[in-house]
Amino acid sequence: MRLQVIALLAAVALVSACSSSGDEAAMTENTGTQTQAVAPPPPPPAPAGPVAGSIEQFMQVAGDRVFFATDRSDLSDQAQAALDAQANWLAAFPAVVVTIEGHADERGTDDYNLALSARRAAAARDYLIAKGISASRIQTLAFGESRPVATGSNEAAWAQNRRAVTVLTGGYNS
């Protein structure tokens, strides 16, 4: 989990570095040799990355979804790490508001799946709130089993469908 956070921070550093990489490169050259240099490694040639605060950047840096075990709504270590990344990104862009959509696989009854998917969305929301994201920025929506992303009838498909998806609904850059 810690590794994930560090990776994310590095990614955020990378993002901020991109915008001023030219200046930094110039400064490094001007100061000449310095034996105790702790400067970060020079950024790789900057590709045309996603706009800061955009949906594309959110998807690249944090990812929009977490997955659940059958009939469960508790967050695995992997899911918590993914939500940590979402929380960090959302903290960096405080204008962004989101809706967390909860989903279930097809192997349950409809009413229960609606309730279960609501519980999953609430679990993700509560985690983000615990990580400092204001409750007023997060709505939840339960879809039950009505909107699968994988249409197969096998464990691989069901595992993709048991999900909570964080959808940016406002305040993001395009």
Partner 1 sequence: MKRVIAFSTILLLCVAALGAASPDARAEVRIDITRGNVEPLPIAIPEFFGLSAAESELGRNIADVIQNDLVNSGLFRAVDRAAFNQDSQSLAVRPRFESWRKIDAQALVSGKISVEQDGRVSVEFRLWDVFAAEHMLGRRYSADSNTWRRVAHVVADAIYKRITGEDGYFDSQIVYVAKSGPKDNRTYRLAIMDQDSANHRFLTDGSSIVEKPRFSPARKEIVYLDFFNNMRRVYLFNLETARRELLGSFDGMTFSPRFSPDGNRVVMTFEQNGNSEIYSMDLRTRQSSRLTNEPGIDTSPSFSPDGARVVFESDRGGVQQIYVMNADGSDVQRISFGDGHYATPVWSPRGDLIAFTKIHKGEFYIGVMRPDGTGERLLVNGYHNEGPTWSPNGRVLMFYRETRGDKGESYLYSIDITGYNERRISTPGYAADPAWSPLNR
Residues that bind partner 1 (CB under 8 A): 71, 73, 106-112, 114-116, 118-123, 126, 140-142, 146-153
Smallest distance, partner 1 to C-beta of residue 98, A? 13
Smallest distance, partner 1 to C-beta of residue 80, A? 17
Among 166, 170, 110, 108, CA closest to 143: 110
Q: Which is nearer to partner 1, 52 or 122 (CB)?
A: 122
H-helix or E-strand containing 142? Answer: strand 138-142
Q: Tell me the backbone φ, ψ of residue 21, rounded to 5 degrees.
A: -65, -35
Q: Which is nearer to partner 1, 25 or 147 (CB)?
A: 147
Instruction: Give yes or no for a contact between 46 and 24, defined as CB atoms under 8 angstroms apart.
Output: no
Smallest distance, partner 1 to C-beta of residue 67, A? 17
Q: Which is nearer to partner 1, 8 or 142 (CB)?
A: 142
User: For the residues of 157-174, what is the DSSP string, one character each?
Assistant: HHHHHSEEEEEEEES-B-
If you search the block for the tokens 């929009």, which residue do you land on?
A: 64
If you search the block for the tokens 């590709």, which residue do you land on?
A: 47
Q: Which is nearer to partner 1, 57 or 65 (CB)?
A: 65
Smallest distance, partner 1 to C-beta of residue 24, A? 45
What Rg do the C-alpha atoms of the chain give, in angstroms? Answer: 20
Smallest distance, partner 1 to C-beta of residue 118, A? 5
d(CA 3, CA 8): 9
Q: Which two tokens stand for residue 161?
A: 């469908």
Q: Which is nearer to partner 1, 81 or 116 (CB)?
A: 116
